[in-house]
Amino acid sequence: MEKEHQIFGIRAILEAIDAGAAIDKVFVQKEASGDLMKKLLAALKRNNVNHAFVPIEKLNRLTPNNHQGAVATISPIAFYDLDILLEELNSANKTPLLLILDQISDARNFGAIIRTAECTGVHGIIISKSGAAPVNGDTVKTSAGAVFNMPICKVEHIKDAIFTLQASGIKTVAATEKTDQLLYDVSFSEPVAIIMGSEDRGINPSVLKIVDEKAKLPMFGNIGSLNVSVACGAFLYEAVRQRQ
């Protein structure tokens, strides 16, 4: 974790939360106690800040400083509000091409996807507040800096974001092997959001139930799946092909 992208100490983290800082995750010492710690835990819950309870050894590896049982990672970018992004796209008369990342947790995969998305004209990426990969040094490096040019929206729940998009006339397409339809049979020339699932579980079944369409890549080898960033690139370039 880059030192410039972390804060440590309970009071410092509380102040960052109150200031509305873009906190990716807070690591809290297991079984920590005290009035100040209770105040922090309440603030994390109240503001729905992604956090995890870890042994003190983990915190000591994150920083040699007096962390008081809490270390937070801070995003180097500001996140977009989804409604504002949709309003901007509508005002600019653009045909939205969006990405939804359902619990992709590897920062390097996240960065590679952002890089490809920027190269293919994606207008924005939607991730969940909890369970998503952080925007950290690995993300920035793997994205080749594209993360600073790509609007990224953090939402409470992926399903709610999908409902919002559908209400705005944007079709949602899930990239999943749980379908007979190939991506070449799906129209990406209209307003569309492509949904990519996590590295280990794919797209959440509850999300699959509400999407407009499902599509898969043709697979001919013995291995049943591609790296998620590679699969995402294939979907995005099919969208590019259709939109040219």
pLDDT of res. 185: 97
Please report, in tens digits, the pLDDT of each residue of the chain (244 residues total). Answer: 444 478 889 999 999 888 888 888 899 999 888 999 999 999 999 988 888 899 999 999 988 888 999 999 888 888 999 999 999 999 999 999 999 999 998 999 999 999 999 999 999 999 998 888 888 878 889 999 999 999 999 998 999 999 999 999 999 999 999 999 999 999 999 999 999 999 888 999 999 999 999 999 999 888 777 899 999 999 999 999 999 9
Is 106 within 8 Å of 139 (Cβ atoms)? no
**Rounded Cα distance, 1 and 18, in Å:** 23
**Which pLDDT value is given to residue 36?**
92
Q: How confident is the model over 75-114, as pLDDT tens digits?
A: 888 899 999 999 999 999 999 999 999 999 899 999 999 9
For 94, residues 6+ apart whose C-beta sits below 8 A from its C-beta are 123
The whole-number pLDDT of residue 1 equals 44
Continuous H helices in the chain: 10-18, 35-46, 56-62, 82-91, 107-119, 137-142, 158-167, 205-208, 228-243
**In this predicted model, what pLDDT tens digit does every residue of 47-75 receive, in sequence order?**
888 888 999 999 999 888 889 999 998 88
